[in-house]
């Protein structure tokens, strides 16, 4: 624990010392959510309210044209209802990576604070080669909501505490064949030491981006997949799919197939519409206790949804340069579960924005029957 505190202090001190050095850049944000939740039936007699403050601090240093060093911290301060604080704290503290680079600064009833080093990467590049070593994001997805090709990290469908893709401790080598084609070889290991090693190749043919991938996932799964993005009559069409074969499992355990297909369009008045559907032959099994978190959090690439068929849609429209509205909806066919939210956002200043969000969810499949409504006030400052 002491080592982690020293590491964090050294990082912050380094930011202050190097802040004016050539090739050094600091950025980040502070994102605060204040939420009030109501459920039917009630989970507890207490009012379900929560405040989540997420702070990111990124530092990048380029000592020369070939070398780049990046470090990033992700810190959470959560307080409110005891039960919700405990559940959110468990997800914030959860570490699937090989190295544990987080520190629980505060852990009390109804209050927790977690500090985490979730970027620590050295990148070397020269001509057509690029090598990245350390904790980093590897995003191989083509679609927007669900990404079967993202075997190194997933992104939650809906989240109220951290909206970025997860990171992994990995070594990644990229070779750029030309401006529109590249090949990547990446290797990572999770907390249990299970390796994920895969090769990705992308190319651009006419107006279509194509990709194929293959490798070993979590040590005991063979994975092959691919996807594409194209445009037809001003409509962007995206597709990706993956097949997972567990070569250590018994015959009773089925292989996993996941296919996502989506489309989106930006109209002349800047209205954006988007829709996506996901099919899997092996949905996540859920209970009353973990239904909501399983619905949204997508723990692994092979476990993206609770339903054989899942649907999502979205809308974004800027009324003015400062004010916009966004709506998101989801439907899980197997459980007749629905989620929807509407967000009204206002840009107070160039780096400061405020938004109000109304959420609603409904699950009607026996034996799980629960409704939830939530209101969120969000304030975000970028620096």
Whole-model pTM? 0.87
| Residue 293: per-residue pLDDT | 60
Model pLDDT, residue 20: 47
Q: Residue 276 has what pLDDT?
A: 97
Region 217-225: what's the mean pLDDT?
94
Choice among 145-159, 207-221, 252-266, 287-301 with the minimum mean pLDDT: 287-301
> If you average pLDDT over each of 104-108, 255-259, 367-371, which comes out highest?
255-259
Give the tens place of pLDDT for each residue, 364-376: 777 667 788 999 9
How many residues does this entry show for the chain? Answer: 383
Question: Which pLDDT tens digit goes with each residue over 284-315?
Answer: 887 666 666 666 666 688 889 889 999 999 99
- Nearest CA-CA partner of 52 in 111, 100, 129: 111
pLDDT-based confidence at 248, cuts 50/70/90?
Answer: confident
Which pLDDT score, from 0 to 100, does residue 323 have? 98
Instruction: Show Cβ contacts of residue 27 under 8 Å, excluding neighbours closer than 6 positions.
Output: 58, 382, 383
CA of residue 97 relative to chain centroid, distance: 15
Q: How confident is the model at residue 218 (pLDDT cuts 50, 70, 90)?
A: very high
């Amino acid at each position: 624990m002491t080592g982690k505190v020293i590491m964090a202090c050294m990082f912050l001190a380094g930011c202050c010392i190097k802040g004016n050095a050539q090739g050094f850049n600091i950025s980040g944000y502070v994102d605060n959510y204040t939420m009030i939740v109501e459920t039917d039936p009630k989970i507890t007699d207490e009012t379900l309210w929560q405040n989540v403050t997420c702070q990111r601090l990124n530092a990048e240093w380029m000592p020369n044209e070939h070398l780049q060093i990046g470090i990033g911290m992700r810190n959470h301060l959560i307080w409110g209802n005891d039960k919700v604080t405990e559940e959110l704290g468990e997800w914030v503290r959860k570490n699937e990576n090989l190295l544990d680079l987080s520190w629980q600064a505060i852990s009390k009833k109804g209050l927790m604070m977690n500090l985490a080093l979730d970027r620590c990467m050295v990148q070397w590049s020269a001509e057509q080669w690029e090598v990245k070593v350390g904790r980093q994001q590897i995003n191989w997805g083509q679609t927007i909501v669900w990404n079967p090709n993202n075997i190194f990290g997933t992104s939650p469908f809906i989240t109220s505490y951290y909206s970025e893709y997860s990171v992994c401790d990995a070594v990644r080598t990229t070779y750029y064949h030309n401006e529109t084609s590249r090949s990547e070889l990446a290797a990572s290991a999770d907390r249990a030491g299970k390796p994920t090693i895969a090769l990705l190749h992308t190319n651009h043919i006419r107006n279509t981006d194509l990709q194929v991938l293959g490798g070993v996932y979590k040590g005991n799964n063979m994975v092959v997949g691919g996807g594409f993005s194209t445009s037809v009559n001003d409509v962007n069409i995206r597709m990706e799919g993956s097949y997972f074969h567990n070569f250590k499992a018994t015959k009773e355990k089925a292989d996993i197939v996941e296919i996502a297909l989506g489309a989106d369009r930006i109209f002349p008045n800047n209205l954006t519409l988007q829709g996506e559907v996901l099919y899997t032959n092996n949905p996540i099994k859920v209970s009353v206790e973990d239904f909501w978190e399983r619905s949204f959090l997508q723990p692994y690439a092979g476990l993206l949804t609770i339903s054989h068929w899942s649907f999502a849609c979205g809308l974004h429209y800027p009324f003015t340069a400062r004010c916009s509205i966004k709506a998101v909806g989801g439907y899980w066919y197997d459980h007749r579960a629905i989620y929807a939210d509407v967000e009204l956002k206002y840009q107070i200043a160039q780096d400061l924005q405020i938004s109000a969000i109304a959420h609603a969810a409904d699950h009607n499949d026996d034996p799980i029957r629960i409704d939830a409504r939530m209101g969120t006030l969000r304030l975000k400052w970028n620096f």
